[in-house]
Amino acid sequence: MILQNWWYTTLLNTESEFQPPLRGDIDCEVAVVGGGMAGLHAALELSRMGKNVVLLERNICGGSSTGKSAGFLTPDSELELSQLVRRYGTEGARSVWSIPVQGIEQIKQAINEFNLDCDFRTQDSLFVGIGKSGATDVREEIKSRQQLGFSSELYDVKKLSTVNSGQGYEAGVRYANTYAINPLLYAQELKRALVARGVKVFEGTEVHAIKGHIAQTHLGSVNADQFIVCVDKMKKSFSPIAEQTYHAQTFLCISEPLEEADVIAMFPQGELQCWDSRLVYSYYRLTGDRRLLLGGGSAMTTFSPADVTSPRIINSVINDFKKRFPQMKHVEFVQYWPGRIDTTKDIMPIVDWFDSEHIQYVLGCVGLPWAAFCGTYAARRLFTPHTCEEYCRYLGANRGFLVPSWLQHIIGKMISFSINNAYSKYVQKDKMRKGQIQIMHTHQNGTPKLILKKL
């Protein structure tokens, strides 16, 4: 296998054009820092409002976490619906689940509106349980979906083999209205659409600091009324809010094109996007050219502070996959790549002002639909805040965490986030289900902002 991101390979022979770096000093109403899924959708929403928008990306648009992901468009990310019900209650879970659902619709809308060529595929989601504990997880998921009135289908071990031939799966839950894309092609295609709409996009342009209303880059600057910062791997020197994000590391690989017989052997009734019930889970789906995209990791490297580039981890994922699908032992995987996806301590994104009333941050979006929604949400909070009240309590920066900041400074980020992520996934019950109100506050510059206060 070659250490190379397959999505970058697919950019060859496309019409994607690199947008030159910013040179000189310019002005705008809103500057978006970061051209991943969140930043692109923030810029799109602002352009629909008729705002003068500048987007600054240090790499190419989609070149970081977005363009390293598997391209799943499903509401599930690190938190299953049953875990949201435990944490937020039935109605709270319904609100939180609606965040990625809306994100999926926003992505679909952009694909249809701008005719984006990004290998968009309809693929039902299938969550499979491994062993007795996994079967229990599946039953809990079905129970939660029934409780909220969401359609789904339960598969016992015998019925499951008719749609997924993997060995060792004890049960599964399937639901529709989920999709898949080539995420890097999507980002580049959406960039093209934004440029056509008049958004000024500058790639290869890293923002070193925002001082007052001026974003400083190596070759120029942007003077903006408002900033929406959608970056990952943020350094504390850029903003103290960086202490509220860390990363989870995963690995992806892509196979040679499969024969149709291989596809049918794996998915007898049609392609699905799948993931299992393990804490460090494996996930897989088919691309449009019938390649198998497979991802996973290990407990030892999930919170590693730096990229692990050795093929050792992804080879173990491949070996495990081939044990479950022995008919796929002959399939060769041709490229692999690591990815570090930013997360918060409780796995929920942060969309909030923090150290300045004109700089809004979008951080820790685990999953493309979450990022699309959060970028759109950040843009709306600037100019139509009345549309955002429902989500402030879930996405605000001032949430309480099991491991507080003072303890994090002692034990370090890696331990702090691993403990807090596990607690949030399996134990936490939100203490702010009730007892909050939203209060409208007006900035000195006239921009409305929603602030939460406990009763």
- Cβ atoms of 271 and 263 within 8 Å: the answer is yes
Within 258-349, strands assigned E span: 272-276, 283-286, 291-296, 333-344
User: Per-residue pLDDT for 440 more than 80?
Assistant: no
What's the pLDDT tens digit per position in 304-362?
A: 888 889 999 999 999 999 999 999 999 999 999 998 899 999 999 999 999 899 999 99
Q: How far apart are CA 62 and CA 66, in angstroms?
A: 5
User: Per-residue pLDDT for 437 more than 80?
Assistant: no
| Average pLDDT for the chain | 92
What's the pLDDT tens digit per position in 165-197?
A: 999 999 999 999 999 999 999 999 999 999 999
Q: How far apart are CA 104 and CA 94, in angstroms?
A: 16
pLDDT at 156: 95
pLDDT at 432: 54
Amino acid, single-letter form, for residue 292: L
pTM of the model as a whole: 0.93
State whether residue 213 is helix, strand or coil. coil
pLDDT at 434: 44
Amino acid, single-letter form, for residue 325: F
Residue with the bigger pLDDT between 386 and 89: it is 89
Query: Measured on CA atoms in the order 115, 116, 119, 125, is the torsion positive or negative?
Result: negative
- What average pLDDT score do residues 146-173 get? 95
Q: How far apart are CA 317 and CA 297, in angstroms?
A: 7
pLDDT at 405: 87
Q: How far is CA 321 from CA 58, 135, 293, in A?
A: 36, 19, 11
> Residues, the chain, total?
455
User: Per-residue pLDDT for 431 more than 90?
Assistant: no
Q: How far apart are CA 363 and CA 347, in angstroms?
A: 10
Query: Measured on CA atoms in the order 114, 116, 122, 124, is the torsion positive or negative?
Result: negative
What's the pLDDT tens digit per position in 224-236?
A: 999 999 999 999 9
- What average pLDDT score do residues 124-140 get? 95
Domains and CATH numbers, the chain: 2-68+183-244+346-429 (3.50.50.60), 122-177+246-344 (3.30.9.10)
pLDDT at 300: 86
Q: How far apart are the first and last CA of the chain?
A: 57
Q: How far apart are CA 396 and CA 4, in angstroms?
A: 36
